A = this chain, B = another copy of it.
Amino acid sequence: MEQVGSVAGEMPVNNSSPRYHQIADELRGQIANGELPPGSQLPAEHDLMDRYAVSRNTVRLALKRLVDEGLLVAGQGRGTFVRERYEPITWDWSVLESRSAHTPANRGLDQWAAAVTATGRQPRQDVSVSIVTPPAKVAEQLNMDPVADVAVLRRRIRSIDQEPYQLADSYFPVDLVQGTPLMEPRDVAAPGGVLASLGLVQVRYHDEITVRMPTRAEIDRLSLPAATPVAEHMRTGYDENDRPLRVMVTILPGDRHVLTYDVSAE
């Protein structure tokens, strides 16, 4: 088990960047200049070993680097491919649900589904409902006791054209939604929002946005490629008496979303 650098005596290695950086740089260049277009397959690792005269491990380090930069995706048994770019969807968060457009075409769709449909793509939501002790941050927003109180959790995976796009978890105080359609694990919608149709009108939102790396669970649920950060958007909705009605936590992968807000002097 000899180190090739000293055996081959080719170069002192000193002063230059590591070999797998160089290989990654070269491949990155080929991706950038279109020599390796999105969707194309790279040579097998075995071939790259020959081409660069390095061990398989070094090839894998180089590829891992590009996977981490979000440029490649690798699949066991399939091969390594240049990553295809998502078309990001732009989402305007400064629109109140109660004021969003409700054309006939939007009937039966919530705000998100309507926005996606408008781009000619196919939205889909998988919903599950449960009663949980909410996370501390959510309990605080809802003025709940973080230990004793429970909330209704509507958990959604939102997909576009069969590809998972975002996670949206809504928490409601139990007494507000008990026995309503919101307790049913299916896609529900109503003009102005389902809450509004129950007489619970949100007149004000408070939003908090944080940026972080996804958790393992989020990576799995959203099939996220490596090196994809997420925005965590937490929106609390209040009625006209400043009573919190709902907290919605949305997980938005950075590679497929743009958030916008419009702010004006009232």
Smallest CB separation, A158 vs chain B (Å): 17
Q: Residues of B contacting A69 with CB < 8 Å?
A: 213, 215-216
The digit string for A196-219, where 1 denotes a CB below 8 A from any CB of B, is: 000000011111111111011000
Judging by beta carbons under 8 Å apart, are B94 and A204 in contact? Answer: no
Distance of A96 Cα from B206 Cα, bound (Å): 16
Query: Which interface class (under 10, 10 to 19, 20 to 34, 35 or more) fits A?
Result: 35 or more
Judging by beta carbons under 8 Å apart, are A211 and B254 in contact? Answer: yes
Q: Give the segment of A7-15, A172-180, A224-232 that binds chain B.
A: A224-232
A63-100: which have CB < 8 Å to B?
68-70, 88, 90, 93-94, 96, 98-99
Judging by beta carbons under 8 Å apart, are B208 and A259 in contact? Answer: yes
Smallest CB separation, A26 vs chain B (Å): 13
Judging by beta carbons under 8 Å apart, are B210 and A254 in contact? Answer: yes
Judging by beta carbons under 8 Å apart, are A211 and B231 in contact? Answer: yes
Smallest CB separation, A56 vs chain B (Å): 12
Judging by beta carbons under 8 Å apart, are A229 and B254 in contact? Answer: yes
Distance of A57 Cα from B60 Cα, bound (Å): 13
A231-266: which have CB < 8 Å to B?
231, 252, 254-255, 257-266
Distance of A203 Cα from B263 Cα, bound (Å): 9
Smallest CB separation, A28 vs chain B (Å): 8
Among candidates B203, B208, B265, residue contacting A99 with C-beta atoms closer than 8 Å: B265
Distance of A229 Cα from B210 Cα, bound (Å): 10
Distance of A264 Cα from B203 Cα, bound (Å): 6
Distance of A13 Cα from B255 Cα, bound (Å): 35
Judging by beta carbons under 8 Å apart, are A206 and B262 in contact? Answer: yes
Among candidates B68, B209, B263, residue contacting A209 with C-beta atoms closer than 8 Å: B209
Distance of A206 Cα from B96 Cα, bound (Å): 16
A residues in contact (CB < 8 Å) with B? 57, 68-70, 88, 90, 93-94, 96, 98-99, 203-213, 215-216, 226-227, 229-231, 252, 254-255, 257-266
Apart from the given pairs A204-B263, A206-B261, A208-B259, 11 other A-B contacts in the complex at a CB distance below 8 Å: A69-B215, A96-B265, A99-B265, A204-B265, A206-B262, A208-B258, A209-B231, A211-B257, A212-B254, A212-B255, A266-B266
25 contacts between A and B (CB under 8 A): A68-B68, A68-B213, A69-B213, A70-B213, A88-B210, A90-B208, A93-B263, A94-B263, A205-B262, A206-B261, A206-B263, A207-B260, A208-B259, A208-B260, A209-B209, A210-B259, A211-B211, A211-B229, A211-B231, A211-B257, A212-B254, A213-B229, A229-B229, A229-B254, A266-B266
